Amino acid sequence: MTVDESSQQAALQRYLLDGERILWTGQPDPRRLLSASDAIVIPFSLMWGGFALFWEAGVLGFLSDTPGPGSLFALWGIPFVVIGQYFIWGRFFYKRWDRRRTIYAVTSQRILVVKGSNVQSLFVKQLPQLNQSVRADGSGTIEFGANPYGFGFWGNTGMEFLSRRSLAPAFYDIPEVDRVSRVITDARSPSF
């Protein structure tokens, strides 16, 4: 279950600077588990996982009448099977869990992405760029800055650990993305 707005604000208080006030808080929608990158990640994960299972079945002798080549080959395949299972379905469980503990905030001075005890923040007046994508229902994503070539692909897939240090902060799958973008734009204005 997602955290209500008053609980979000209470959780954010310890990260606020002197004089900083919260303008907006939210969380990613935990029901949205697919991203644009999944058009490539899903087929890749099925090939990886399928090959790993085929390998294990072969070395264990399930695919022929002759015994398999030995336990060393079977042990070698186990990590690939485990990784394949994470790619296929485990990452969706992780993504749902991660979204329930993630809190986004726009303050009078910064944007904050809080995941458990990890915090990413950028000063709103120093944001390099805002990349916004909006769906027909008004929900969407705001990315703050550009990702190095190739690293942004893993964002919002459940496999962010492959490039976590390189990913620009983002508000993934938030409702009313246009309204949040206006709050950020207002906070960036010199008169704010």
Local confidence pLDDT in tens for the 192 residues of the chain: 456 777 888 889 999 999 999 999 999 999 999 988 899 999 999 999 999 999 888 888 887 777 666 778 888 999 999 999 999 999 999 999 999 999 999 999 999 999 988 899 999 999 888 889 999 999 999 999 876 665 566 678 888 776 666 677 899 999 999 999 999 999 988 776
Same domain, 144 and 82: no
| Count of the separate structural domains present in the chain | 2
Q: Which CATH number covers residue 130?
A: 2.30.29
Same domain, 88 and 172: no
Which tokens hold the place of 127?
């944001």
- pLDDT of 147 reads 65
Same domain, 78 and 170: no
- pLDDT of 1 reads 43
Coil, helix or strand at residue 80? helix
Question: Which of 80, 96, 112 is a domain's end point?
Answer: 96
Q: How far is CA 116 from CA 51, 52, 166, 186, 191, in A?
A: 35, 33, 19, 28, 33
Same domain, 45 and 68: yes
Q: How many CB atoms lie within 10 A of CB 117?
A: 6
Q: Which residue has the tokens 């409702």?
A: 175
Same domain, 123 and 173: yes
Backbone angles phi, psi at 117, to 5 degrees: -100, 5
Same domain, 109 and 180: yes
